[in-house]
A and B are shown apart, each in its own frame.
Chain A
Amino acid sequence: METSEIQSKVVEVIGRYAKDKEALAKATEATNILEDLKVNSARLVDVILDLEDEFDIEVEDEDADAVNTVGDAISLIKSKLG
């Protein structure tokens, strides 16, 4: 899967939980999910669950804890997809 395709799906998933829609529209790999997009920290769990469904992958807790930016999520998904 192309990085751009992964990114657009990641942004779509995060978008369900993002309070700052303007920042979402301008999201890049460097965008911080909690701070820049104003996602409630409790909802990070739901973002990971949704990504698991979207990409048909399983994410271990340690890997989930390392996801801070959109780029982190993309790298994680790429590694899972091989």
Chain B
Amino acid sequence: MSRRVVITGMGVVAPNAVGLDAYAEALRGGVSGIRHFPLLDELKFGCRVGGIPQGVDEVAEGMFDEEELLAMNSSHRYGCIAAVDAWTDAGFDRPDHADDDAVSWEAGAVIGTGIGGLDTTGEKLVPMVDAGRVRRLGSTIVEQVMGSGVSARVSGLLALGNQVTSNSSACSTGAEAVVEGYHRIQEGRAERMLCGGTEGSSQYAWAGFDSMRVLCRKFNDEPEKASRPLSASAAGFVPGSGAGILHLESLESAVARGARIYAEVLGGALNSGGHRSGGSMTAPNPLGVQRCIRQTVEDAGIDPQEIDVINGHLTATGADPREVSSWATALGRTPDTFPLINSTKSMIGHGLGAAGALESVACILMLRDGFVHASINCEDVHPEIEPFAASIPHETREMPGLRTIIKAGFGFGDVNVCIIFRKWSVQGD
């Protein structure tokens, strides 16, 4: 059984905007969501900038009750806002918590996280346990630190009755969740799946990366310039946070209820490079990357020439040139025929477990509105990427005929994910 899968709703909580239309506007305007945080000065971080969504507590207080909010750390707040927004964007009402008949047995969720509730762990769990105050922790700790905390919370908010789980594959988590949901619906095991990733904002989550010296330390005074994928002056990634959730649905279900369809998930693939051929815990095996891209194109059943835009993983580390080279090899494209390529991280930083989902939402919005957002902060294109420079938009490009975007994510552990989205047309071809 192989069914077609479409996207009928989305929600987003990003460092540069909360909500779909605000996010589309920010992307179109090349607006950076990277800010300087004085706390990181105090704590002597090398990188003192990051991406944290703004105004979230106000949104959360309007959406969730007091009991729910008491057990929702930043990762929960971002993920739950995005999930509820995706659900309502898809045309569904929020069910009453007291309605026992409200369970949607055909709807589930795969909502992952890369790091999890480290704000809760760092601010409450560890200090209170170390102080001998275990008894005072209360009932809200476990659900905030357990790996599946966010998907579990979303399940209760929306009365989901199909599979509800949280995946984790470092920086490929959010996009991996989309592929997992795509497969589940394709196989006929669910009609609708909320898929994506969420990552909280916490100095405890960012500290390990800072100590590894993979974060950008050179632009603490110019936060909006700090995230520089594809550039010669790229100096490491900028840590980010937020959530993106996509409401995936079988084409039959979407058509039957007359749903608005944004795009089709045309193909997807997941693999690992096995830490060989240059791959490691922190670097991708290029053969794995290329294989994942090729499998996605095959799964989509299209000619690689049909791809209009590559929304890369592109974090602003030394891996960017190798990524561009892998795209060219896997898609059989030369600098002359290379599609446009951009990095959403240039504006929002690296959302870790949420990155692939935040960026997938960006891809669908570009398809919806017919534009390709700028990849900012790479006026000085990296010398090894220079042959492809003409494919990098430094300003937003209007592209009404935009039809097909390929999106990838590569995570620590040498894990890869790739997806092809195609704009939905009435004929659906």
B66 touches A45 (CB 8 A): no
A16 touches B136 (CB 8 A): no
Chain B residues lying within 8 Å of A18, measured Cβ to Cβ, are 67
Within B60-75, the residues touching A (CB, 8 Å) are 65-67, 70
B98 touches A46 (CB 8 A): no
Interface range on chain A: under 10, 10 to 19, 20 to 34, or 35 or more?
Answer: 10 to 19
A49 touches B136 (CB 8 A): yes
Give the distance in Å from the alpha carbon of A42 to the alpha carbon of B71 in the complex.
12
B98 touches A38 (CB 8 A): yes
Chain A residues lying within 8 Å of B44, measured Cβ to Cβ, are none
Known pairs A43-B139, A45-B138, A45-B139; A19 contacts B97 (CB<8 A): yes
- Candidates A15, A16, A19, A20; contact of B70 at CB < 8 Å: A16
Please give me the residue from chain A that is nearest to B140 by CB atom: A46
Give the distance in Å from the alpha carbon of A62 to the alpha carbon of B245 in the complex.
44
Whole-angstrom distance between the Cβ of A51 and the nearest chain B Cβ: 12
Within B83-125, the residues touching A (CB, 8 Å) are 97-98
B98 touches A43 (CB 8 A): no
Whole-angstrom distance between the Cβ of B98 and the nearest chain A Cβ: 7
Please give me the residue from chain A that is nearest to B142 by CB atom: A42
Chain B residues lying within 8 Å of A17, measured Cβ to Cβ, are 66-67, 70
Please give me the residue from chain A that is nearest to B136 by CB atom: A49
B66 touches A42 (CB 8 A): no
Chain B residues lying within 8 Å of A49, measured Cβ to Cβ, are 136, 138
Q: 17 A–B contact pairs at CB < 8 A?
A: A15-B66, A16-B66, A16-B67, A17-B66, A18-B67, A19-B65, A19-B67, A38-B98, A39-B67, A42-B139, A43-B67, A44-B139, A45-B139, A46-B70, A46-B138, A46-B140, A49-B138
